Amino acid sequence: MSLPPHGAPTRRQKILATTLFVATFCTATTLGAVWSFSRSSDVLVWTSPEVLRSVWSNGELLVRGLSYSIPLLLILLCHELGHYVACRYYRLRVTPPYFLPFPLALGTLGAFIRIRSPVRNKRQLFDIGVAGPIAGFVALLPFLFVGVALSTPSALESAVSGPSGAESLLYVPGESLALRGVTWIFHGPLAEGWVLDLHPIALAAWVGLFATSLNLLPLAQLDGGHILYALVGRRQRFLAIPLWLMLLAAGWWWSGWLLWALIVLVLGLIHPPLADEGEPLDPGRRFLAFVAPILLVVCFMPIPLDLITLP
């Protein structure tokens, strides 16, 4: 029996990755179609057999679902392939990208890879950490422009229709500087009480922006945490708690940040040391290390998802 090349995924890993990808494609397509027709509270439905049948048997619903799932999975795939290619460049053992299907809300919890070889120095750590967010951001940009151009501004009152005399709950995707800037290019400044009704392609780009900002948080073993450690080394331990407290404080505006603060705490605030920490980053990588927080600011949404009650 022949063994896979050094660092290459095994057959079992490829089967698992393919299975998860197909499952994520199904959940994202189904719930992307549901979301595209309603941002009200009824989008929080499970991907039940009834919902699957209603989407996959309706041509219009299926096209809208695919307009969301295909760009989204491509954006997430490019992000993870950035990490993967960097790992393979350094001949590290790494799994293929594993997608996470989720039968609720937006249909996925993202994707990840697992590095099964020790990262030895700051250069390797930095390249692996920065490659994913840059690749994902470059991949989402054309979808962001096309999707926003196809989106339409609408008044909050008309964005959802509920029973007469009843209150309606509306989920409004949050704004980042990137989304706001592209919206201004195509639609100008939106009047107060108006929102951009995101086309499925724009919604996929929005998820990509959110995922990029999450990964670039300079904490724990997130991509931003790797970049920070590659830049400052073991001095990261002095920054860990203040940065985590800032994330915790963000929970004042959006409760979801409290969950992420807990996740980061479980992952560990102190980044693991490297075998070789003597060689500093070269000027080119130091420049990219300061580009990363700019990218974080551009993608960041203080309130990623707002729930508004309409009379």
Per residue in 18-44, pLDDT tens?
A: 999 999 999 999 988 888 776 555 555
Angle formed by the axes of helices 283-299 and 122-150, nearest 10°? 40
The CA distance from 71 to 122, in Å, is 33
Using CB atoms within 10 A of its CB, is residue 172 exposed (0-12), middle (13-18) or buried (19+)?
middle
Angle formed by the axes of helices 59-89 and 200-215, nearest 10°? 30
Average pLDDT, the chain: 87
Phi, then psi, of 203 in degrees rounded to 5: -65, -40
Q: What's the pLDDT score for residue 58?
A: 83
Which residues of the chain fall below pLDDT 50? 1-3, 161-167
Which residues are 171's β-sheet partners? 307
Does residue 269 contact residue 241 with C-beta atoms inside 8 Å? yes
pLDDT in tens, 172-224: 788 999 999 999 999 988 887 788 888 999 999 999 999 999 999 999 889 99
Cα torsion 26, 102, 130, 13: sign = negative
The CA distance from 116 to 26, in Å, is 29
Kindly state the tokens that stand for 295. 């990218």
Q: What's the pLDDT score for residue 1?
A: 36
Q: What's the pLDDT score for residue 3?
A: 39
Q: Residues near 214 by Cβ (< 8 Å), separated by ≥ 6?
A: 222, 260
pTM for the predicted model, two decimal places: 0.90
Does residue 84 contact residue 113 with C-beta atoms inside 8 Å? yes
